Structure 1
Amino acid sequence: MKKFEEKTYHTETIYSGKIVELNIDSVTLPDGNTSKRELIKHPGAVAVIALTPDGKLVCVEQYRKPLEKSLVEIPAGKLEEGEAPYTCALRELEEETGYTTKHLQKLTSFYTSPGFADEIVHLYFTDEVTPLEEKVDGDEDEFVELMELTLEEAEQMEKEQRIHDAKTAYALLFLKLQRDK
């Protein structure tokens, strides 16, 4: 038995959409009592820290409906069924930014909200981007604007909360640590 494990004895699916599934799990707690857990199932995602040849961070600005505002973020996207994270990272980089690369280095993976969701983000890095010869179409319902930022510009956007998501904050921390080595 895992430390503090909660045993599921019933799962009710409340909603199943194209991105997430909402389940209510009835669980037995480590002390024998029972409780309910509202859980979001997600296929996982990727994000890419991409630097241009002149050292600028490749970002996109897009509207985020849950927040009712636009954010500036590193390129990212959802894994398709059966898709390898590396393949997804390259696809998202190309679709969202018009850049490609021959080398993506996996940095880490992390859970975004483990209190209620199983979404995991696989984070990659490249400093070898080149423009695509022919633009690749992205998702038909996704509207993004390419931005290339110096680390200082990105840090200022973070202060202004234009950059305000965990994966991009992680990217900035990674780049600051690399700079300070």
Structure 2
Amino acid sequence: MDHLFEKTIKTTPIYQGKVIDLQVDDVTLPNGKKSKREIVKHPGAVAILPITKEGKLVLVRQYRKALDKVIVEIPAGKLERGEEPDAAARRELEEETGYRSEKLHYLISFYTSPGFADELIHLYECADLEKGQGALDADEFLDVLEVTLEEAEQMIRDQTIYDAKTAFAVQYMKLKEVGRT
């Protein structure tokens, strides 16, 4: 596989923000030619597939400026510096939905956009939800929804659910349901 690697010659920081950093890397390609790579650096994130005792999926509806639209998603958020993913998952679940759970089960980690970003999302499932206290960030506004698997699948079809992490989680839930029957 070494014949596929690119060698970084120089990294130029472009922007350092609250959520992401942007850099441009000058690289030598496997064929010896030079190129540039624009890279978004991200601290990583967690996403949670919360399922109520009644078997409903807890989702959040919120406006996403990058899309200039309101979409429905599973609860998620970025990792704070030095924070363990399972702690972040518990924190984000309660902050965004007002629910908490002792039954947090790690499912998988995946890259969101490996062509230009290093964001890694750690996906968790949780059940036996208990009502806690929601505590949204000052710049966060959202609605909490509880939907059936069928309703979530319809939201994917009509593009109310429009992001990969949520579509992935809904498909996971569907496969889990199929395994029970």
Fold conserved between structures, TM > 0.5: yes
Separation in structure 2 between the aligned mates of residue 100 and residue 180 of structure 1, nearest angstrom: 26
- The secondary structure found in structure 1 opposite 2:103 is coil
Per the alignment, residue 105 of structure 1 pairs with 105
How far does residue 138 in structure 1 lie from its aligned partner after superposition? 1.9
Which amino acid in the other structure matches residue 139 of structure 1?
D
Which amino acid in the other structure matches residue 42 of structure 1?
H
Which amino acid in the other structure matches residue 178 of structure 1?
K
**What is the 5 A alignment of 1:3-152?**
3-132=3-132, 135-152=133-150
- The secondary structure found in structure 2 opposite 1:180 is helix
Separation in structure 2 between the aligned mates of residue 63 and residue 14 of structure 1, nearest angstrom: 27
How far does residue 103 in structure 1 lie from its aligned partner after superposition? 1.6
Between 171-180 and 112-121, the greater mean CA deviation after superposition: 171-180
How far does residue 2 in structure 1 lie from its aligned partner after superposition? 3.2
How far does residue 3 in structure 1 lie from its aligned partner after superposition? 4.0
Unaligned runs of 5+ in 2: none
Separation in structure 2 between the aligned mates of residue 29 and residue 102 of structure 1, nearest angstrom: 48
- The secondary structure found in structure 2 opposite 1:104 is strand
Which string of whole-angstrom CA distances, capped at 9 and with x for unpartnered residues, describes residues 52-76 of structure 1? 1100000000000010001100000
Unaligned runs of 5+ in 1: none
- The secondary structure found in structure 2 opposite 1:72 is strand
Segments of 4+ moved more than 3 angstroms? none
Per the alignment, residue 180 of structure 1 pairs with 178
- The secondary structure found in structure 2 opposite 1:87 is helix
Shift in alpha-carbon separation, 1:3–1:49, aligned structure 2, 3 A: farther
Between 152-161 and 36-45, the greater mean CA deviation after superposition: 152-161
Identity percentage of aligned residues: 56
How far does residue 137 in structure 1 lie from its aligned partner after superposition? 1.7
Separation in structure 2 between the aligned mates of residue 29 and residue 62 of structure 1, nearest angstrom: 41
Shift in alpha-carbon separation, 1:123–1:3, aligned structure 2, 3 A: farther
**C-alpha RMSD of matched pairs (Å):** 0.9
Shift in alpha-carbon separation, 1:3–1:109, aligned structure 2, 3 A: farther
Separation in structure 2 between the aligned mates of residue 127 and residue 170 of structure 1, nearest angstrom: 18
